[in-house]
Amino acid sequence: MKKIILFLLFISLMVACSTPKKAVLTQNDLPRVIDSLYQADQATAKIRPADSAAAAYQRVIRSNFPLIETIFRKFGYPGYDLVGVQHSDQYFTLVQHSDFNVAFQLEVLKDMQQKVEKQNATGQNFAYLTDRTELNQGRPQVYGTQVIMSANTKLKPCIDTINLDKRRQTVGLGPIQEYLDQCNAVFFQLNPQEKNKPGGN
């Protein structure tokens, strides 16, 4: 755990040093800066125990946010033409995790939609962020991307589930049952002891 905490501190320092306060963030900086923010975000998942990971995650997503917002204010949602597929998708993850600022998520979503229409971002990511913002505002989701994962994964509240697969298809997502089955499989990978319990696969 100490090694992971030191790694997070290193990432934070690297990001800070890569963008001095008086420096101008340029397009050439974006892939490196986005990747550094993303690596710091993802590293928290490796921390044990889980409550320590959760606390570290909350610290990191908030310390990341000023740069995440700066990127959007200067460049808009960074599409594939600006930073490439990998770093654009990484930036989506950073926005997805900024649940403490729904107003910002909604701003990004609006710009992201324009990028999707120009095939400059993925419809799947747009669907995930749409659902996240709907739930964050106390409304049911649209595309069924948000779930309560367990041995029998369930959807969080969702509109018109009868036509859900049709909506998912429009953004490039597969059938909802396939998605739920995949979530079940991931749950058992993370919790192998659950397979031996009644009702486990």
The per-residue pLDDT for range 137-195, each reduced to its tens digit, is: 999 999 999 999 999 999 999 999 999 999 999 999 999 999 999 999 998 988 888 77
CA angle 54, 55, 58 (to 5 degrees): 85
**Are residues 93 and 18 located together in one domain of the fold?**
yes
Instruction: Name the band, by pLDDT with cuts 50, 70 and 90, for residue 48.
Output: confident
Q: How many angstroms separate the CA atoms of 95 and 108, rounded?
A: 8
pLDDT score recorded for residue 199: 61
Say how many domains are in the chain.
2
Asked if 40 and 52 sit in the same domain, the reply is yes
As a whole number of angstroms, the distance between CA 181 and CA 153 comes to: 8
Residues 103-135 pLDDT 10s: 999 999 999 999 999 999 999 999 999 999 999
On whether both 173 and 114 belong to a single domain, the answer is no
- Of 89, 116, 139, which closes a domain? 139
Residues 128 and 150 in one domain: no
Statement to judge: residues 16 and 98 lie in one domain: yes
In this predicted structure, the answer to whether residue 196 has a pLDDT above a threshold of 80 is: no
Domain boundary among 139, 165, 182: 139
Q: Mean per-residue pLDDT for 12-27?
A: 60
The answer on 105 and 11 residing in a single domain is yes
Q: Is residue 109 a contact partner of residue 126, using CB atoms and an 8 Å limit?
A: yes
| Segments forming the whole domain that contains residue 163 | 140-201
Check residue 13 and give its pLDDT: 45
pLDDT confidence of residue 92: 98
pLDDT bin (cut points 50, 70, 90) of residue 49 is confident
Residues 97 and 162 placed together within one structural domain of the fold = no
Residue finishing a domain among 100, 120, 139: 139
Same domain, 109 and 191: no
